[in-house]
Structure 1
């Protein structure tokens, strides 16, 4: 199963839901936690969407009705950044990109709590627009550190993808104010979180 166009949540189940649970387990049994983390990470890498299927299977078994898009978006706010989506280089440009990436994801995670309060939500939308601009500025700063033309092109491509999903998010908001479909906003926000993670992953790959 590959990440379908309507389910960005598949790529976020492991970092946002499963890994924080494994971090809690580490306090009781570090070796069991690390074994599980390694196994699930490998399984997800070879079969993207597997952890999503696992969670859906558990929910079906327990007869649970949960809006996973909304839940993962909420959980993103409480999740600490995993090493996978955090840059280790100490230069200001990299640390700034870490901060701007985390800030955007934190603001997006507030959407489920604020979407029904129009005044608050409109303020949050302004914050999201500013956070997107700051993130793009931070990406431009980091681009100067990336060696070689192909590395720079890869990051530029990621940036274009991010901008495309930012525009889609903006269009989804316009539709929401006409039709009131909150889930479409949650999905679009998850896409933006995924694209933010992909920017960090690309920088890591080309620079670390």
Structure 2
């Protein structure tokens, strides 16, 4: 009889609202811990580079034990992959306000690239993602293909701009997108080396003026008055 009573009490405890909430609390705590580790890893990778960072370095930055880091990420390579994936998610998040603005497609492209430049200047996840792509040969896992989705988005906006007469006739949106993305991400790299990215937004604007806006101004100047 006593065993049955004890069993019934345990069943009631397991079915109580407090007991049901325990897994959710643990999951939320795990999500928060994972985010802290990712942020610490991103800062370390951005500052020192993948080859020069250890799990102990990341654990110290995160304020936790090495075992806690390994519980969430099985290796330094897994952490690098997670940071790179978070980088592209963050880029997508950064784009959203520009895409929702009421502006023409070419101005949306410029807005997107300026926002990306500001992220390179201000956000450790973005800085780490860019550096990890450069160091991908040192990382023993398959990293995301660099900037492919971002370039496709730019190309689709430029295609809309071409259809609206905002680009020169005969312009190739895909090629122009590749040039823009290469120039902007190259500019951020040079800005990083020379100025710790303090001038990356200005260097990005120079790219936009030369590649996007100057041709449009030249075309407008050649058009007959009153056309």
TM score, norm. by length of structure 1: 0.32
TM score, norm. by length of structure 2: 0.30
Which structure would you say has the larger RCO, counting Cα contacts within 8 Å and 6 or more residues apart?
1
